Each structure stands twice: as structure tokens, then as C-alpha cells.
Amino acid sequence: MDPATGLGPAQIGVLVPLAVATILLGGIYALISVGLTLIFGIMRVVNFAHGEFLMLGMYLAFWAYFVFTVDPYFVVVVAIPLFFVVGLVVYGLVMRGVIRASHNVQIFTTVGLSTVLQNVALVAWSGDFRFVRPWHLSTVVRAGATTFNLTQVVASVIAVTLTLALVAFMKWTHAGRVMRATAQDRDAATLMGIDTDRVYRLSFAIGIAAVGAAGVLVAPLYSVYPTAGLQFVLISYVVVVLGGLGDMLGAMLGSLIVAAVEVAGSYLFGAAWKEIFYFLLFILVLLFRPAGLFGQRGAETLGV
């Protein structure tokens, strides 16, 4: 059917499932990206290893399911504190020493971290594609004419809940306010007696916890392999740049936009070409609105 011919009942019949697919996908992208944007907003570091923590979350879900037959939904409960601790450790070992270094040092530190994590996974668990197949993957949920599986729906609901919880945490708790203050002006925050090192540690750990949880949630929907993080992290760069690096609500909107581009692109041109569209979108946004679609406070300190 040619979607450009007008908006008859048949077209609305197509648009509804596309919209639902966009929202489901967008919810998951939001949780993946929100950690990246948090870390960037507060530490001013682009975490090039972000996708690898997602990959580790996927492996956690795989092994929990394979060895103990634990459903990924329950693994999320363990994954959040576990990845929080992983975040603390990685911060202490790797990130802390480069937080005041130049952009180049930070870029190559996280790129190096990404290489190490990918290959630790390769050596430990081989390059084989693994699959997590819980019962709900074959349970069908109807939305209009098309169907979704239960896994997709629940994963998306949990992802959105966690993302909103994080946004609420940033907005209404003391720790959240301290983190936002540091993001706005680290020197002023230091003068107000804020221990910025603790803030960085906390935000890095929260960011890693969020992406680790996202990894567990997406594990049943995609195959699990050592470089699985790459495809997602590239998406989250697009999302985060669209929303303005460091802007959490922007990231949620950006997720919906990228999901919409992906869903519409796959529908119109076939799934094989979908990545091309969001990369082109990415380059266009970088060129014309590098501070994000909605602008960004403090963008001048980043040199954009």
C-alpha cells in the first residue's frame, strides 16, 4: 500500500501500529540513552564504552536465564544494584583520573575501556550469538491490526518507569539537586561546598546502573554477543545529541524521534536500511543544531 495516497481508514489502520511500535521502541531507547546523557551532563565526558555496559547487562540476563532460568524481568531487580557497584568500581579505577583531563584523553580512555570490555566478553563467553527466550516472548498482545509480543510491551513499560523514576530523582531529591547544580557550574558547586568527586562517582554509577538494566530488558528482544552494544550506543548518541547532550527530558523526546525514524524507515524502505536514516539524521542535527533540537544551556563550555 502506498502511504502517500491519503489518510483513509486503511492508512489509519497502518499508522496506529506504527505509532505503538514507535512508543515501545522509544521507551527502551530512552532508558539506554538517559544514562549516557546523565554522565555527559554532569561529568562532561562522552562515555564511548556505554554500549559495552549494555552488552554486559544482556549477558547477565542470558546467564541468569540459562543457568537458573530466571526471567529477565526479575533479573532487572538484581541488575540495578549490581551495575551501580560496577559503575562505582569503573569510576574509581578508570574515570576518576581523567575527569579534569583534555577531551582527547577522555575520548581515548572510554574508547579503550570499550575495547577491553568487548574483548573480555569475547574471551570469556566466545563470539557466539546467544538468545534469551522466556515464555512471554511468544505471548501475543494485540494493538489494532498488528501484534506485539508481551516481552516488548513489558520491557518498554519497565524502561519508561525507570527513566521517569530517574528524572524524578534528579528533580526532587537532595542528591538530584546537587547533581544538577554540579552540571550547571562545577566551580560554583565546589564553592557551595559540594564534593564534586562524590557527585561524579554517583552520576557515573547511576548512569551505568540505568544502561545495565536496559541491557537486561532488551536481551530477549535481540541476540547477545560481545559487540552487541555498538548498535545501541550509536542510537543513543543520536538520541542524546538530538535532545541536547545532558538534557534528560530532551533524551526522552529524542528517543521517540529516533524510534519514529527507525519505524517509519523500516516500514517504507525495509528494515535493512533503517540505520542509514538515523545516521543521516544524526549528521544533519550535528551540522545544523549541534546543541540539540531544543537548544542547551551551557553549550558554549563544550565549544559547540
Partner 1 sequence: MLGLLRARRGAVILFGLAAVVPLAVRDAYFLDSLVLILLWGALSAAWNVAGGYAGQVSIGHASFFGIGAYSAALMVTRFGRGPWLGMLVGVVLSIGAGFIIGFLSNRLKGPYFALSTIAFSQVLLIGVSRWRGFTSGAEGIPVPFRPGFLTLGLGHVGWVYMALAMALICFAVEVYLERSRVGYQLAGVREDEDAAEALGIPTRRLKVVAVTLSAALTSVCGSLWAQYIGFVDPTYVFSVDLSVRFALNTIIGGMGTALGPFLGSILITSLETYLRATFSGVKAGFTGIYLIIYGTALILVVRFVPEGLAGIAARLRVRRAHA
Cβ burial, residue 87 (10 Å; 0-12/13-18/19+): buried
The reply to whether 293 sits near partner 1 by the rule CB under 8 A is no
Kindly tell me which of 15 and 275 has the beta carbon lying closer to partner 1. 275
| Size of residue set near partner 1 by CB under 8 A | 45
| Residue 176 interacting with partner 1 (CB under 8 A) | no
Query: Which stretch in 18-26, 106-114, 148-156, 205-213 sits in contact with partner 1 by CB under 8 A?
Result: 106-114
Task: Determine if 173 is a binding residue for partner 1 (CB under 8 A).
Answer: no
Q: Pick one of 80, 98, 194, 293: the residue that binds partner 1 (CB under 8 A).
A: 98
Q: Which is nearer to partner 1, 216 or 239 (CB)?
A: 239
Cα distance between residue 167 and residue 157, in whole Å: 15
Chain positions 39 to 68 lying near partner 1, rule: CB under 8 A, are: 45-46
* Residue 118 interacts with partner 1 (CB under 8 A): yes or no: yes
Q: Which of 89, 92, 100, 115 binds partner 1 (CB under 8 A)?
A: 115
Residue placing its CB nearer to partner 1 in the complex, 178 or 237:
237
For partner 1, give the closer residue by CB, 200 or 282.
282
- Nearest residue (CB) to partner 1, 10 versus 105: 105
In the complex, the smallest distance separating the C-beta of residue 281 from partner 1, rounded to whole angstroms, is 10
- Which CB atom, from 46 or from 178, has the smaller least distance to partner 1? 46
Is 303 a residue that touches partner 1 (CB under 8 A)? yes
Per CB under 8 A, 107 contacts partner 1: yes
Region from 84-92, 183-191, 196-204, 275-283 binding partner 1, contact rule CB under 8 A = 275-283
Question: CA-CA distances (angstroms) from residue 173 to 34, 37, 160, 178, 198?
Answer: 18, 19, 19, 9, 16
264 near partner 1, rule: CB under 8 A: no
Instruction: Pick the binder of partner 1 from 108, 129, 131, 169 (CB under 8 A).
Output: 108
Residue 142, φ and ψ in degrees, nearest 5:
-95, 135
The span of 111-119, 137-145, 192-200, 248-256 binding partner 1 (CB under 8 A) equals 111-119
- With beta carbons less than 8 A apart as the criterion, state whether 241 and 40 touch: no
Say if CB 109 and CB 95 are below 8 A apart. yes
Asked if 133 is part of the footprint of partner 1 (rule: CB under 8 A), the reply reads no
Please state the closest distance from residue 111 (CB atom) to partner 1, in A: 6
Binding site for partner 1 (CB under 8 A): 45-46, 94, 97-98, 101, 103-109, 111-116, 118-120, 122-123, 126-127, 230, 234, 237-238, 241, 272-273, 275-276, 279-280, 282-283, 286-287, 290, 302-304
